[in-house]
Structure 1
């Protein structure tokens, strides 16, 4: 499926209407089916579907390793796509004990859950991480994500998520109409590349809501950087997980909300 399309429109400029055209992103329902049963349906950009399947499975704690997925097939379902995923036996058995259904619009990564406890679930701790980064590297990471967003340059309507490793630059970048989808796709890409999630910072072009913290922690990253501000719950969740949360990262300026000691001014950053 194509990821964008041209549409005709009317533009109001200088006090007058004029006929014009614009590129807009495509948005389709994508189902995640495990062992033949639909587990979730998300509205998303129809691209990087294998990354999406691996990343969603990881951040939803369905898998912990790429070997937990035995096979994957993207099946055309007419108006959408069905990602048919076969799990390893032990992983599949674990899923049956906690299976739930959810249908999430692009603005929400936690829709359809069955309890308040699931929405505020404890996230993996990254407190042990010795990852550090400099202010200049944070600025570089944000710049590289912005420069790498091809679909957003065309449409100005999609989010980006990148994985930045000090000294190596941007190792992966994914885009989607949903901010949480972009992060899921990034998580899948990092997992498939066999890159240690603790070796880099997750950089996103959206606000920092709690599910973004949950997903970054599931990847193993101890640093989450965004161009917008975090919610109060995201701050509390990051603090409990031992994660460094950086927001309002624009140009060479940013704000630090948790664990500032990982940002080392004027020093060479380390990865561990």
Structure 2
């Protein structure tokens, strides 16, 4: 579209004719109207199905999908914002996104690990990040889990999640499922204060050789020009802000994470196999 106004006008017309449904995110009293969100409507679902030559029941659309809670929508939008930034950055900077798996796909048959809770009880936890994606450049690949944090979890729940990720990696289940020794767990959250709180909680749990696994930034810093090649990330065990992928002009900047791989920044020359999203529960 030539302008944002033109795009908004087209969305309004599609809504008026039943191709799109519209909702607004809630705002505090006196703050005006919330952001308009457009979702696939009944006529739109029928059109998509017709274009694909399938029945509407086969495209995974249900009218109830448009009535999910606002926190769920806000979380979904956060994940989408990160994905759009990564995709635009990869296209602009010559990286390839080999695969992107959404939370819904990862939930199909999740791996599970045993974790000790704060009450010293053992609990079996499913490993379901908000996304898994893999980047490649110049014959090298890097794999990532994405966590979009809306600051709704307590520090205790966050600590349990970190313990689960560490147990998952140490058990060998990650390597079996994804066929790669490369991994960085990226957390994008709501602001710098939350970044520092999560960083401190994570640092208390990690052993020195585990620290480089966890990376943090706030959503305000995530953009096409920053998400991959700018120092916006804070890493457990490292000082200052770090690039997710080191500049091509400064290859020595890369540091290794001994937990999973000896390759710089979790990048490895090759991936052993495609992710097996149907793998049954890990022990």
TM-score bucket (shorter structure): under 0.3
With structure 2 as the length reference, what TM-score do the two structures score? 0.25
Larger RCO (alpha carbons 8 Å, 6+ apart): 1
Which of the pair is proportionally richer in strand?
Answer: 1
Which of the pair is proportionally richer in helix?
Answer: 2
With structure 1 as the length reference, what TM-score do the two structures score? 0.26
